[in-house]
Structure 1
Amino acid sequence: MSLRVLVVDDHPLYRDGLVTAIAAMPEIEVIGDAADGAAAVRAAKDLAPDVVVMDLHMPELNGIEATRQIVAERPATAVLVLTMLDGDDSVFAAMRAGARGYLLKGADRAEIRRALEAVAHGEVVFSSGIASRVLSFFAAGSAKSALSPFPSLTEREREILDLVARGLTNAAIAQRLVLSSKTVRNHVSNVFTKLQVAGRAEAVAQARDAGLGAP
């Protein structure tokens, strides 16, 4: 029986090339493709793929949230992330959302094929560079921080992100933490950079997805 694959990426040329490459693999069938996270969730529900190849940075609904919804609705479907994003935050956010694999877009056809088959059989797969970083977290005894939200943030930055997610303004955060407004602005700017977000609303969305910002 062929492995049924859904391909999700917002770049038409890359998506078309990926569809062609995967469809040419023996015993693998591409049953559909989608250009954004919302379309991916609908397609996964309608087509029941064995594996979803998922980009992360997409319009309407990002790949992290799409992964979370697909896994919640279809636990039997494996999500294999294929992205240009190699930061620790992206990796651990994807795995917390339920992805079973994480490859970078430099992966060749053989690596993608092995990953598709592996995640379909319940294994977890990482690109080599990412795998070594994940293992180093555990080898260094940092498993707790690796599994906590946003491991690249400092404790102070995570604290400030939590307050941002609760709806506090910079001025209110400065007053609560007894910091200068300039210091808070600098911390918020650093948080946005590390989370690779364009503004406050996107940062709040990511923080709440990760469980921050609770009353």
Structure 2
Amino acid sequence: MRTTSQCGDRGRSERPPIRVFLLDDHEVVRRGLRDLLEDEPDMTVVGEAADARQALARAPALRPHVAVLDVRLGSSADTGDHEGIDVCRELRVALPGLACLMLTSFDDDEALFDAIMAGAAGYVLKQIQGSALVTAVRTVAAGQSMLDPGATARVLARVRGPAVPVGPPELARLSPRERQILDLIGEGLTNRQIAERLYLAEKTVKNRISAILTKLKVGRRIQAAVIAERVRDREEPPGFR
């Protein structure tokens, strides 16, 4: 008799494997990531790179589903640059369906914010356990975000302060109902909570959010939340909060 876990493993292995691309300037780290991920029946590492130039040259032709990208590369670790985030941004232009999972040794709010605005689907520390990293790859491959509520709150806090104008070119594309939904995204509500608040079907909310992301020309829900927060800062009178 097959156990439930065996059936689950078989179900995963019968689907096309998740194609993963690796970017890290340390060979030992890349080898460890490759061994970890290729030990999973539903994953295959299709390529790797040691620097940004190699990544941008190799990844588009390999058509990965997920790119695991080191935030800081080579000497940039000393200067504080986030070259891996630039790679994320450029790869997502070439491969709009690509999910980028940022991997870093540093808990850096600035890098977190920049990664999200570059379209990253997730952001994890290198101290993460192997099983948790595998879960993170599966999560972003499924189109979900790999950010805990605390990280989301820090990103929204990052945009509070001096308002950054978000003018009519972005917002004029949205209908009044979409503006309502955008505001609720900015408050951190889930699809279900938005549906309950506005008396809509959850599927309708999901479709509306997809339209909002398209109109705002962003790829992630958290990016829309950042825009909503900036709009609120611009529109609320001083001292309102």
Task: Give me the TM-score of the superposition, normalised by structure 2.
Answer: 0.54
Deviation at 1:133, TM superposition (A): 3.9
Instruction: State the partner residue of 1:125.
Output: 146
Instruction: State the partner residue of 1:105.
Output: 126
Task: Note if 1:42 corresponds to 2:57.
Answer: yes
Q: Distance in 2 between matches of 1:43 and 1:92?
A: 26
One-letter amino acid matched to 1:108: Q
- Please state whether the residue corresponding to 2:40 is helix, strand or coil: coil
Q: 1:32 aligns with which of 47, 57, 70?
A: 47
Q: Which moved more, 1:47-56 or 1:108-117?
A: 108-117
Q: Could you list the per-position Cα deviations for residues 16-38 of structure 1 after superposition, in whole angstroms to 9, with x for gaps in the alignment?
A: 11111111112100111110112
Unaligned 5+ segments in structure 1 are 150-215
Q: Distance in 1 between matches of 2:139 and 2:119?
A: 15
Q: Distance in 1 between matches of 2:21 and 2:155?
A: 31
Instruction: State the partner residue of 1:173.
Output: none
Unaligned 5+ segments in structure 2 are 1-15, 77-81, 165-241
Instruction: State the partner residue of 1:135.
Output: 153
Task: Note if 1:3 corresponds to 2:18.
Answer: yes
Q: Give the length in aligned residue pairs.
A: 142
Deviation at 1:49, TM superposition (A): 0.2
Contact 2:112 2:155 in 1 (8 A): no
Deviation at 1:64, TM superposition (A): 1.0
- Please state whether the residue corresponding to 2:97 is helix, strand or coil: coil
Task: Note if 1:17 corresponds to 2:32.
Answer: yes
Deviation at 1:136, TM superposition (A): 5.2
One-letter amino acid matched to 2:49: A
Contact 2:22 2:48 in 1 (8 A): yes
Contact 2:66 2:100 in 1 (8 A): yes
- Please state whether the residue corresponding to 2:152 is helix, strand or coil: helix
Of all paired residues, the percent bearing the same amino acid is: 31
Runs (4+) of structure 1 moved beyond 2 Å? 133-138, 142-146
- Please state whether the residue corresponding to 2:20 is helix, strand or coil: strand
Instruction: State the partner residue of 2:79.
Output: none
One-letter amino acid matched to 1:48: R
Deviation at 1:137, TM superposition (A): 5.6
Q: 1:81 aligns with which of 102, 108, 123?
A: 102
- Give the direction of change, closer, same or farther, for the CA distance of 1:99–1:136 in structure 2 (3 Å limit): closer
- Please state whether the residue corresponding to 1:125 is helix, strand or coil: coil
Q: Could you list the per-position Cα deviations for residues 63-99 of structure 1 after superposition, in whole angstroms to 9, with x for gaps in the alignment?
A: 0110110011101111001111211001011111111
Task: Note if 1:51 corresponds to 2:78.
Answer: no
Measured on the aligned residues, the alpha-carbon RMSD in Å equals 2.3
Alignment of 1:162-173 (within 5 A): none
